[in-house]
A and B are shown apart, each in its own frame.
Chain A
Amino acid sequence: MREITVQALLDHGKDTLKLKVLAGESFLGRKVQETAMNRPGLALTGFFTYFAHQRLQIFGLAELTYLKNLSVEERRSRLEALFKRQIPGVVLTRNRRATREMLELAAAYRVPVLRTSMVTMDFVNACTVMMDELTTPTKRVQGTTLELMGIGVLMRGDPGIGKSETALALIERGYSLVSDDVTECRRTSRGRVLCWANNVTRYHMEIRGLGIIHVPSLFGVSAIRRQTELDLVIDLTVPTGEEDRTGVAQETVDILGVNVPLITLPVRSGRDMANIVEVAALNQKLKELGHDAAKELDDKIIDRLSGVGRGRR
């Protein structure tokens, strides 16, 4: 698991978390050890048993109203008890202002204090998603990713085998490009692999003989997709003669700990790869719906054979 800092939340959540720093700007490098949030509630009354000090502390309407009803000295000592427990940061929701004690304690105990315009529940939901995104394992894989009818397909293979050319033919058929040649992957909390393109080269492709093209300019915005969940990996290979001819055995490949169905397609000149990839994606969709053509035919034959063996016709 990757570590995150309060700064990372601030940077990545520019649009979604609406955070603003109120105090302790120099301490934004603090690590958020536990990727969850805590509403201090009881801790403000002085009860610190099971206090989740490694989490970001969220002050909502309840906490702030409670603090407001305390005397200055009381408020200071209650907050100090919280701040001195090495908390990673404090977030005030609903754009509430920090009390003077908070600003002083932020500096004294080197804790960043932030505020958001969001209401507590929305912020907690959005921040949970963000923390999850920032901490799950990511990986860069060599391959071109497309989305075909909602099926995420990653095509891999040696340079020059025809990944981009196949992708181009599929885009012409109305499917969408996610990334060409370099795909960034992240494991989601639902145990899927999410794929997207590198920021710099997003929606560009390199086609041998043509050079670099910009896909949405040529084919329109429907030809691109920002990200897709991976359903199928297709390896384009030089024919070896060892390929699976029945499709009964489903191979998988491990990507970030997720087993993704794998198909190995030998590339021969004159073979319409786009057509085959399209059918592979359709077939995968069918399998996910519970229909496995290869297995069904095999079962039918086995059933028939055993019937014949027992003298039944």
Chain B
Amino acid sequence: MGAGELSRELKVENEYGIHARPAALIVKEAGRFSAEIYLEKDGNRVSCKSIMGLMTVEGFPGSRVRVSASGADAEAALDALEALFVANFHES
């Protein structure tokens, strides 16, 4: 964990977990911010700006992940990502 890094624990609650589509949504959302944003689960830390990375963390439904951000807009980035998780990646 770097200095000035903010982090939040988020729960994966959509039907299939972090598969390609949610991963793409996370990347898209994270890409709007200049902050460095990472997602961590079971010791695996990947960039939230990498689809391939996100698909390797095995974010199955019901699992908890830690999202952390550092940079000027870190707080806003975490808010945006949390909203995405809470909205179940807009799955109906």
Surface stretch bound by B, among A77-85, A97-105, A197-205: A197-205
Residue total for B at the interface (Cβ-Cβ under 8 A): 16
Contact A159 B50 (CB under 8 A): yes
A182 to B49, CA, bound (A): 12
Q: Complex Cα distance A200/B58, Å?
A: 9
Q: How far is B55's CA from A206's CA once the two chains are assembled, in angstroms?
A: 11
Known: A159-B47, A200-B58, A212-B20. A142 touches B31 (CB 8 A): no
| A229 close to chain B: CB less than 8 A | no
Cα A182 to Cα B50 with chains together (Å): 9
Main secondary structure of the interface of B (DSSP, over half): mixed
**What's the Cα separation between A180 and B56 when bound, in Å?**
11
Shortest Cβ distance from A33 into chain B, in angstroms? Answer: 23
The reply to whether the CB of B69 lies closer than 8 angstroms to some CB of chain A is no
**Contacts known (A159-B31, A160-B31); A201 close to B47, Cβ less than 8 A:** no
Query: Residues of A contacting B39 with CB < 8 Å?
Result: none
A147 close to B (CB within 8 Å): no
Is A231 positioned at the interface, with any CB of B under 8 Å from its CB? no
A47 CB → nearest B CB, Å:
44
4 nearest interchain CB pairs?
Answer: A159-B49, A181-B52, A198-B56, A206-B51
Residues of A with Cβ closer than 8 Å to B?
140, 142, 159-160, 180-182, 198, 200-201, 204-206, 211-212
Selected A-B contacts with CB under 8 Å, 26 pairs: A140-B44, A140-B56, A142-B46, A142-B47, A159-B27, A159-B31, A159-B49, A160-B49, A180-B52, A181-B51, A181-B53, A182-B50, A182-B52, A182-B56, A198-B52, A200-B55, A200-B56, A200-B58, A201-B52, A201-B55, A201-B56, A204-B52, A206-B50, A206-B52, A212-B20, A212-B51
